[in-house]
Amino acid sequence: MSDSNWKKGLREIVGAGQLLEDPILLDSYGTDGYTLEKARPSAVVLPADREQLHAVVSHLYRERVPYVARGAGTSLSGGAIPLDGAVVVHLSRMHQIRSIDWYNRVAYCEPGVVNRKLSEALAPFGYYYAPDPSSQQACTLGGNVAENSGGPHCLKFGVTLNHIKQLEVVWPNGDVELLGSLADFAESVDVKSLMVGSEGMLGIVSGIWARIVELPQSRATTMVLFDDVQEASQAVSAIIAAGVIPAALELMDPLAIEAVERGVYRVGYPPGVAAVLLVEVDGPAPEVKEEQSLITHLLGKFPTRDIRIARSAAERELWWANRKTAFGAMGLLAPRYYVQDGVIPRSQLPSALRKIGEIGEHYDIRIANVFHAGDGNLHPLLLYDDKDAHMVQRVRQAGSEILRMCLALGGSITGEHGVGLEKMEELTWQMSPAVIQAQWALKNACDPEGLANPKKVLPVGSTCLAELSSDVTRVK
C-alpha cells in the first residue's frame, strides 16, 4: 500500500484536521486501560457521522489497511491497542443520541455516546439504560457492545447483550447491514448477538438501538460492614441462595476500602472494617419492602459490624460513587495497578478470596479486591511499580495464576473485560482447539483480509504469540 494514497483518501473523507499523524498524539492512542502493553498506530481518523465512518472503512478495505475501532479507550484487556500499525478509528465525534422511540422503548444512538449520558438524557422522562459499567462516565455504547460489558447493576437485568435490540454494522469490506430488529421475536440464527462481545474484530458498530427501561418506583440500598471478608462472602452466597436477586451486590476488601477512603468520594467507614457489602433492591414499593426485610433478616445471622440503609438519594449516590471509583483510587496506593477479571461460581467466593490472598503473598504483590459479588465476577487489583521489572513479571505471573484458579473452581478467564490481547493464551486454557477454530471461521467469513482489530482475541497457536511480541512494546 502507498502510505500517501491511503492517508490522502482518509483526509478527503473526514477533512485534514480529523486525521492525526503527529507522533506525540499517536503515542497517546498507543494504549488503553490495560497498562502492561502499548503500540503506536500509523494514524488516527475521526469520522463525524455514519456516512463518513462507512466511507472510511470502505477506503481502508480498498487500500488493505488494518484498523481498530476506539470508543473511550477504557478497555482493560488491551482491546483498543493498535497492533500491526493499525489505524485507530476513533468514534468520539459520533456521540449523538439520534432519537428515542418511546413506543418501542428504544434509544437510537451513535456508537460514541457515553454510557452515562444516555441515562442522564432519559432521567427527566422517568427512564434509564440499565447496564452501568463502573467506567460509565467515560466508556461508550460502541465499546460496551464490543465488550458485552457488565456493571454493578447487571445482576438482575443482565449485561449489554440483553439490552441491544438492533445494530447497524459496517463489515470490513464496507458493506453496511442492520442486525436484529425493533420487534420482539427470536431469530433462528441470531447474528446480532454474535456482534455483541466480538471486540471489534468482526466489524464496526455504527448505530445502536438500545432498550430503555423505566426508573424503578422504589429502591433500597443497604451497606453492610464486616470485620471479616470471609463472612462477607458467605453472606453473599446466603442472599442468592435465599432466592433474592438484588439489582446489585458488590463487595470491597480492606485494601480496596483503604483506597476509596483516600479518594474523592469518602464515606467515612469506621477504622478496621474488613469488608463493605452493598446490596441494592429495586422495583415496585411493596416488593422492595419485602426483599429488603428478607435481606436484613439474612444478614442478621452473620456477625456484621453495622448495617446501614441509605436515607436519601444523595447518600446512595455517594456510596455508589465510592464503589465505582475504586479502580481509579488504586493510583493513590501504587504507581500502577493491573485489574484481573475472572469468574467463579458464587458459592466458591470464600475459597477464591483465600486463594487470591495466598497468591499475593507468594508473589509478594499487594492485591485489592473489588467485585460484582452476586455474579461471582472477581476483580483483583494487583498493585505494582512499572519501574520495577521484576515486580511487573511477578504481577503477570500472579494474574495468570488467579485465572488458573478461576478455571479450577469451574469459572471463566473473563467476566466482562474481554480477551483483547491480554488473554489470548489463557483462552486456550478454557476453550478447545475446535471451538477456537469455529470462531476463526466466523472471523474469516466476516473479515477475510484480517483488517479489523488484527491479532486480538483468537490465538493461532504458538506463532501467534511469537508474532505478537514483535508488534507490542511490553512495558517491561
**Residues within the interface to ligand FAD (CB under 6 A):** 32-33, 68-76, 79-80, 91, 111, 133-135, 139-140, 142-144, 146-147, 149-151, 199-200, 204-205, 327-328, 416-417, 453
Any residues with CB less than 8 A from the CB of 288 and at least 6 apart, and which?
A: 216, 217, 218, 219, 220, 281, 282
Helix (H, G, I), strand (E, B) or coil at 144: helix
Closest approach, Cβ 64 to ligand FAD, in A, equals: 19
Of 71 and 374, nearer to ligand FAD (C-beta) is 71
CA distance 373 to 277: 9
| Shortest CB 392 distance to ligand FAD, Å | 19
Nearer to ligand FAD, 6 or 171 (CB): 171
**What spatial distance separates the first Cα and last Cα of the chain, rounded to whole Å?**
32
- Residue (9 or 131) nearer to ligand FAD, CB: 131
Smallest distance from the beta carbon of 32 to ligand FAD, in angstroms? 5
Cβ nearer to ligand FAD, comparing 72 with 100: 72
Measured distance CA(216)–CA(118) in Å, rounded: 17
Least CB distance from residue 202 to ligand FAD, whole Å? 8
Specify the DSSP class assigned to residue 413. S
* Residue 339 CB, nearest approach to ligand FAD (Å): 7
Cell of 314: 444523595
The CB-of-467 to ligand FAD minimum distance in angstroms stands at 18
DSSP for residue 270? P
Q: How far is the CB of 88 from ligand FAD (least distance, A)?
A: 9
387: burial class by Cβ within 10 Å (0-12, 13-18, 19+)?
Answer: exposed
For ligand FAD, give the closer residue by CB, 59 or 455: 455
In terms of CB distance, is 9 or 152 closer to ligand FAD?
Answer: 152
Q: Give 19 or 145: the residue with its C-beta nearer to ligand FAD.
A: 145
Give the DSSP per-residue string, 155-220: HHH--GGGGEEEEEEE-TTS-EEEEE-SS----SS-HHHHHTT-TTSS-EEEEEEEE-EEPPSEEE
Task: Concatenate the DSSP letters of all residues of 306-362 into one string.
Answer: EEEE--SHHHHHHHHHHHHTHHHHGGGTSSEEEE--EE--GGGHHHHHHHHHHHHHH
